[in-house]
Every structure is written in C-alpha cells, then in structure tokens.
Structure 1
C-alpha cells in the first residue's frame, strides 16, 4: 500500500485554545493531554498543518451544549451579540502572538504562499497559514485588514455566526437552511474588494445564503468554504445546499469537509458516537458536485466534537484507511488530503 499522504487542514481552533490559557506553546511542542492537536500527535497522525483560526469567543454561555440533547428533534440556539472592533481587536492580536509563539517554539512554519506550505509539509514543523474566523477585529474602513495582512493573514471569514459590520452568519439551527437574513452590508462589499486586492481568501463557511451570493457576485477568486458539509445529508443551517456547492464548483473553488459531528449526523447532534461511514457519505456527495479537484478536509479540530474513530489529529490514519477501503485511489487521496487546498490557495493568492 502507498504511504498515506499528509493532511493540510482547512480549519482548526488551536489559537483559541492557547489564548484561553488551557495550554501553552511549549506543551504543544512537547505533547500534552486534552484538545485535538499537539506536535507529537500531529506527526503520528500525518497532520501536516493547515489554516489556524483567529477567533474572538462570545462572552457567556454559547449554548452549544443544547445540540447534545438527545430528546430534542431540533434546536435553534440564540446568536451571541455582535462585538465592536475595539473589543475584538486586542483579542485577535493576542492570538496572533500565540501564533508567533508556536513559530518560536518550533511547532509551526508560518506560510503565506503555496510553495512555502508544500516545503513545510515535508519538514519537522507544521505548515501554518493565519486565518480569521469572523472579522470583528476589522474596522469599517478596513484599515486593520492591512495590519493583519502584514502579520501574515491570508484567509478571512467575514462572519462567524453572530452578525458583524460586514454581514450575517447562520445560526446554530437544525433543521434549517442558511437562508436566514440579508446579505453583505456596504462595509462587507468593501471588505470583499479589499481581500481580493490583498490576495486574502474569503471563507464562506458560517455566512448566510444571501451573503454567499453577494460574495460570489463580487469576487474574482475561486470560492472557498473551509469547513462545511452537505445540507442534503445533514439539514443544518451551517451546511451548504447543492445549489451552493454547484456555485463553488463553477468558480473552481473548494469545500473542506468539517469533522464536527453536528454538521455530519442526520440528527444534527454534537455527539461523537458515530463511525466514519457518515464522513464518507459527505465526501461522496461533495465529490459528486465539486469533482475530484474541489474537495479537501476542514476538521475544526479544537473547536468541535469529532468521531470517536478519529478522536484527535493522531487518529487521522483511521480516516485515510477508510477512504482507501471506500475506493479512493492514490491520486484522489493526495488531492483530498492536501493538493486541492494548495491549488485553490495558490490561485486565490495569484501564484
């Protein structure tokens, strides 16, 4: 059997875990208990790195535990309040500092080109691209965007699920579609244009349908949803309809399979008691609509509950073994695990 290809992952929340004080960069280098990611487990599992998200957490209870209630046929969790830029900015910058600490400890190689990612994937460090999930830290005039770009930011989602100056996210609602409100604001359209100018990927995960259509009409870059799944298989507001998948395919874009149980399971539960067959069904559906060059992985490690059969990044061989048994050949395995991500990033970044 051919060696398993390394995984370049479209989304993780390790920076939030570091910011929360639950672990530090030295422990991520040496190995630690808890969470989904550290360097020894990454090496064991062939997790070569990915997009590392800056995320400003909501205050108070998020209500995500409500997804785990087995007695409920559905849920509609209230969205957290919007955050002003002056409140979000210091949190975002503190997470950039954590990114820099990971580099100083020898955990990651910060990357701003696809060539740098490819070189880092074969090294002792993890290939790391700085991403922002929810643009709360960006001001209406996008001056802070230039600052973050200078710090290495190369991917940005205009929203998480709460509203921002730029647009509206989908709620944690099941069953539901993403058709939940208005599209981009004037500031949101400005943000899209500025991201195009700077070569920053615009991430459509979490954005509602109207905002999705607005980005598609404005951008000249391939469309990307870094960590989203098929609505046809799991009717969660966070997932993408076939119409959206087809729009991404027409742009030459990519969708990263989200490992989060609530966006995989047909019952929408945040419960990791499920096997890998569900993930394979989502992969098949995404491949049907996006083709072999339009699908990648977007785990949401350190931000979600994943299948018991994976557990953390050291468990990725189980997924790749399942993909091979499912009939994916060497070429498709390499595309799904990292090549498709490198290709779409290169095209977004003008390489």
Structure 2
C-alpha cells in the first residue's frame, strides 16, 4: 500500500468534543467524521497536519449557510475577529488533546524531518501540530512558547480577520483579491516563524496577504489545503499567478478534497466522481511540477466527494491516479514524499 501523508485535518475538534471519550474515539472510532486510527490504518495514512482551530459562533457548516452554498452564486460575510482571550483556552484544549493522543503510543508529534521519518518507520502516526488562524498567539513570546510545545506549522488566518492578516470569504464565483495585506504584527509574525522554522500556511489567506508573505518569507511557500481557481472559481482557491509564485519558491500545494472547492459549479454537494479531482491535480502538476503537488484532505472539516467518504477510501484515489496514467513514482510523490521533502526544506533549510 502506498503511504499517504496528509496536509490538513480537523480531527482534534472531535477529540475535544468527545471529552473523556476522546482517546477512545481516536483508537476505536465512533462511526462519525472522516478520520480515526483504524480508518487511517485501512487507508495507508501514515501522518499529517492536525489543526488547532477556533470555531466562530456561526460558520460554513451551519444548516442555513449550507443551503446558501448549495445554490451559487453566494458571498458570505467574513465572521468577526475572535479575541485572543477567548481563543486561547480553546487552543490549549486542542493542543492538550493532541498530546493525549501521543500518550497512547500510536501517534507522535513530530518536530523535524528526521523525527517524522523515524515515526513513520516505527509504525506510529506522524502528527504535525498546526494552527489554523493565529488568534491564540498574542505576541512573539507566545509564539516561542507554542513552538516549545511542538507547533511547527501556522496559518495566520482562517476565513476571518486576525491581528495579523485577513482571510478570504466563502464566496462563489469570486477571487482571492479582497481586503488588505499583513498588519505590522503579521509581518513580524512571518519573520519570527522563519527564524523558528515554523512553516507558514497560505490556505485561507487573501491575495494581499499572500503577496506580502511571498515577499517577506525566506522559506518555501506552502498552501496546505487548496484547489485550482481556474477550474473552480471559489475565493478559497488559488489563481494560476499564485500557483506560479509558489512554484518559483520551491513550495507546494496540497489538494483539498472539499467538494465545493473542487466542483466547477461551486455547489456544496458531494463531488460525483474523482475525474474533477484529477483535473485539479493535472493543473497543479502543469504549474508546480512533480515535486510541488501533494494532498490536503480537510478531513473532518469539509464535505467529501462521494467516492472518498473518509480516510479508509484513500486507496480509491490512488487507484484513480494510476488509471489516469500517473506512474507509481509520481503517485508516491503526491501521496507522501513531496510533503516530507518540503518540510525538510522548511524546517532544516
């Protein structure tokens, strides 16, 4: 089985929501969501980015919002900024939940490329502590504290503003050119992340913020879970110009499995087949090359395609790549090797 290393999941929220049963949900599954240890094992998933994320009072998975997103065009307003004092306890609970999974002996929070490889070789899930939206980071001293706790990947925003930058709204058809660039605090954050070798994630960031990070950062540019705007003109997707900027940096894009970011019509309905995913992959490969494309599922955070309902179905996607004409060496790169390579360049470079 070809191993899969994944660019983004929101599983930790389910662990926190389960309370005292959180570890059991990881070890045994509970019949919900997209991810748990048994389904990762069944699908050949050897690791990935586990996101710490602060929910807004309302969001894209609310029933009323889902109905709007099933009937484009739509343009949802950005949620309000969340105060640091509200965000921090949520983030602590999620980080603690990831640490609790580590204590089961089935998962390791990895902090460098060699550690990542050792964890996979030992048969443990290699987990990267990622933060999606920097609301819980009050200043650069706090960033150092989170780094000491294991944080190695950071997206300055989810789809709402922070003290550092602005996100893109959920809108279709629409582009990412909305809102202003990085604040001065955001520019300081980029420099400090570079110094600490914390990977910066461009997914959810608006175009002005993207441009600022591209100019400031000395690390490969990475979008952990994004799709192609040329195919699906969602504000969340990357334009060809943005893809070329990432390619020029030696960076990487992880393909998001969210149906509404894959479908040409932008509807929040299950993608009916995997051909559209393969079109996105073909487009990414044409611009980024064979070393610049990976996978970023958004498991437990988005509506999955009909034929890819959870992590256990990952071999179906890899088989579709093979049937589409991708050779085994390319499939292995997309499935895991490219993530490991860009992390080594980001962390050890």
- After TM superposition, the score normalised by the length of structure 2 is 0.96
Provide the residue aligned with 1:97 in structure 2: 96
- Per-residue CA deviations over 1:151-192 (Å, capped at 9, x if unaligned) read 100000000011000010000011000000110000000000
Q: Determine which of 314, 332, 336 is the counterpart of 2:312.
A: 314
Hey, what does 2:54 align to over in structure 1?
56
Give the Cα–Cα distance (whole angstroms) in 2 for the partners of residues 83 and 93 of structure 1.
Answer: 15
Which sits farther off after the overlay, 64-73 or 43-52? Answer: 64-73
Q: Tell me which residue corresponds to 1:282.
A: 280
3-state SS of 2:226 partner: coil
State how 1:172-251 maps to structure 2 within 5 Å: 172-251=170-249
Matched residues in 2 for 1:55 and 1:79: separation?
Answer: 16
> What residue number does 2:108 align with?
109
CA contact (8 A) 2:225 2:255 kept: yes
Give the distance between the partners of 2:299 and 2:181, measured in 1 at CA.
Answer: 29
Match of 1:42?
A: 40
* Counterpart residue number, 2:342: 344
Q: For 1:226, what is the secondary structure of its paired residue?
A: strand
Note closer, same or farther for the CA distance 1:71–1:299 as it changes in structure 2 (3 Å cut): closer
Q: Given the superposition, is the C-alpha separation of residues 32 and 71 from structure 1 closer, same or farther in structure 2, using an over 3 Å criterion? A: closer
Contact 1:29 1:106 in 2 (8 A): no
SS at match of 2:129: strand
- Contact 2:72-2:267 at 8 Å conserved across structures: no
Residue by residue over 1:93-139, the C-alpha shift from the partner in whole angstroms, topping out at 9 and shown as x without a partner, is 11000001111123311101112222222333211010000000011
State the secondary structure of the residue aligned to 2:108: strand
5+ residue gaps, structure 1, are none
Q: Does the Cα contact within 8 Å between 2:262 and 2:271 map onto a contact in 1?
A: no
* 1:148 counterpart (146, 149, 169): 146
Name the CA distance, whole Å, in 2 between partners of 1:125 and 1:106: 7
1:18 to 2:15 alignment: yes
Q: 1 CA distance for matches of 2:11 and 2:59?
A: 20
**Matched position secondary structure for 1:316:** helix
Q: 2:61 and 2:268 mapped to 1: Cα distance?
A: 12
**Secondary structure of the corresponding residue to residue 19 of structure 1:** helix
Describe the SS at the equivalent of 1:233.
coil
Partner of 2:131: 132
Structure 2: which 5+ runs fail to align? none
- Residue 72 of structure 1, CA deviation: 2.6
* Equivalent pair of 1:29/1:38 in contact (CA under 8 Å): yes
Matched residue of 2:291: which SS?
coil
- Calculate the TM-score normalised by the size of structure 1: 0.96
Of 1, 4, 19 in structure 2, the residue corresponding to residue 7 of structure 1 is 4
> Do structure 1's residue 27 and structure 2's residue 25 form an aligned pair?
yes
Q: Is the deviation greater in 267-276 or in 234-243?
A: 267-276
CA RMSD after TM alignment: 1.5
**Mapped partners of 1:153, 1:219: distance in 2:** 18
For residues 72 and 26 of structure 1, do their structure 2 counterparts lie closer, same or farther at Cα, with a shift above 3 Å needed?
closer
Map of 1:268 onto structure 2: 266
CA contact (8 A) 1:31 1:38 kept: yes
> Contact 1:231 / 1:240 at 8 angstroms: preserved in 2?
yes
Taking the aligned partners of 2:12 and 2:94, their CA distance within structure 1 comes to 6
1:289–1:67 Cα change, 3 Å = farther
Distance in 1 separating the partners of 2:23 and 2:81: 30
1:27 Cα deviation from its structure 2 partner: 2.4
Q: Shift in Å at residue 16 of structure 1?
A: 1.4
Deviates more, 1:75-84 or 1:190-199: 75-84
